[in-house]
């Protein structure tokens, strides 16, 4: 059974940092693109970043570029999102998501972890 | 960036009736379009990719159609578990991958 389990969310002050983790199981993690997608409270879905199978390619949405770093550890079947200089509009549920073989279609989602940026 | 626009924002439908959801792209995306379902409190779930290809285990009542800039998701006979939010997403020109704003299908 495919599973993606996020952790690391919580309350952080504006300007602070947070590192999200995602533990993957039930599939060959190293052969898939992986993504982070977020959903602000009561809002729609926003793709944040993704990373290619070997980590050689990383893409970011403009609103987080320079503040956020996506990474992976295939030996640990884990995906990460390091978030710095957090702002109020970063408040959202962050979903870890499997991006298929080519990074384009998100074929499986975790349950998400809530990040709240507030003083 | 390709902007995806979904309509209507909310669709009120009686169980057993047909629901028709629309998704428009700001420029052609070919057939590189996916549909997702999100039930309350749950993670999204992939329903359709390639504009019309259903994922395994998705019921046949979910029908995707369209190409270019105009797409439709039709749910032929709504069941109770189908009342949810639905999002379209383009993957023709990326990054970024972009989603529509969603359509909420609610019980009439």
Q: Backbone dihedral region of B9: left (phi > 0), alpha (psi from -120 to 50 degrees) or beta?
A: alpha
Q: Kindly determine whether residue A45 and residue B96, on different chains, have CB atoms separated by under 8 Å.
A: no
Q: Kindly determine whether residue B34 and residue A106, on different chains, have CB atoms separated by under 8 Å.
A: yes
**Residue B43 is nearest to which of A59, A95, A105, comparing CB atoms?**
A95
- The radius of gyration computed from the CA coordinates of chain B, to the nearest angstrom, equals 13
Residues B88-99 pLDDT 10s: 999 999 999 999
What CA–CA distance (Å, rounded) separates A24 from A111? 12
DSSP A46-90: EEEEEE-TTS--EEE-TTTBTTEEEEEEGGGTEEEEEE-S--GGG
Decide if B100 touches A, using CB distance below 8 A: yes
**Residue B46 is nearest to which of A95, A103, A107, comparing CB atoms?**
A107
Low-confidence ranges of chain A (pLDDT < 50): none
What CA–CA distance (Å, rounded) separates B79 from B83? 8
Structure-derived torsion over alpha carbons of residues B22, B26, B28, B31, reported in degrees to the nearest 10: -30
What CA–CA distance (Å, rounded) separates A93 from A40? 6
Q: How far apart are the first and last CA of chain A?
A: 40
Interface of A with B in 24-83 (CB under 8 A): 35, 44-47, 50, 59-62
Q: What is the DSSP letter of B81?
A: G
What is the pLDDT, as a whole number, of residue B74?
Answer: 98
Q: Kindly determine whether residue B34 and residue A105, on different chains, have CB atoms separated by under 8 Å.
A: yes
Rounded average pLDDT over B11-20: 96
Query: ∠ at Cα B41 (A81, B35), nearest 5°?
Result: 75
Chain A residues in contact with B49 by the CB 8 A cut-off are 105, 107
pLDDT band for B25, please (50, 70, 90 cuts): very high
Decide if B42 touches A, using CB distance below 8 A: yes
B103, two tokens = 């359509």
Q: What is the DSSP letter of B40?
A: T
Decide if A114 touches B, using CB distance below 8 A: no
A17 CA to chain B: closest CA distance, Å?
24
Percent of chain B at pLDDT > 70 equals 100
On whether the CB atoms of residues B16 and B75 are closer than 8 A, the answer is: no
Residues B28-48 pLDDT 10s: 999 999 999 999 999 999 999
């Amino acid at each position: 059974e495919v599973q993606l389990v996020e952790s690391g969310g919580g309350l952080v002050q504006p300007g602070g940092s947070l590192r999200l983790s995602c533990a993957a199981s039930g599939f060959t993690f190293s052969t898939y693109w992986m993504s982070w997608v977020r959903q602000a409270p009561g809002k729609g879905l926003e793709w944040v970043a993704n990373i290619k199978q070997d980590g050689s390619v990383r893409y970011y949405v403009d609103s987080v570029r320079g503040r956020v770093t996506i990474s992976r550890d295939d030996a640990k079947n884990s995906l990460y999102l390091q978030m710095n200089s957090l702002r109020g509009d970063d408040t959202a549920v962050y979903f870890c998501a499997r991006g298929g073989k080519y990074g384009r279609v998100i074929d499986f989602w975790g349950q998400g972890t809530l990040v709240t940026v507030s003083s | 960036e390709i902007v995806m626009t979904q309509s209507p924002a909310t669709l009120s439908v009686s169980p057993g009736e047909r629901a028709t959801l629309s998704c428009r792209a700001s420029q052609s995306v070919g057939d590189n379009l996916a549909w997702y379902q999100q039930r309350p409190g749950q993670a999204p779930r992939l329903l359709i990719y390639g504009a019309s290809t259903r994922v395994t285990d998705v019921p046949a009542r979910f029908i995707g159609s369209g190409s270019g800039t105009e797409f439709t998701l039709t749910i032929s006979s709504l069941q109770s578990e189908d009342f949810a939010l639905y999002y379209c997403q383009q993957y023709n020109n990326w990054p970024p991958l972009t989603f529509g704003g969603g359509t909420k299908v609610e019980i009439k």
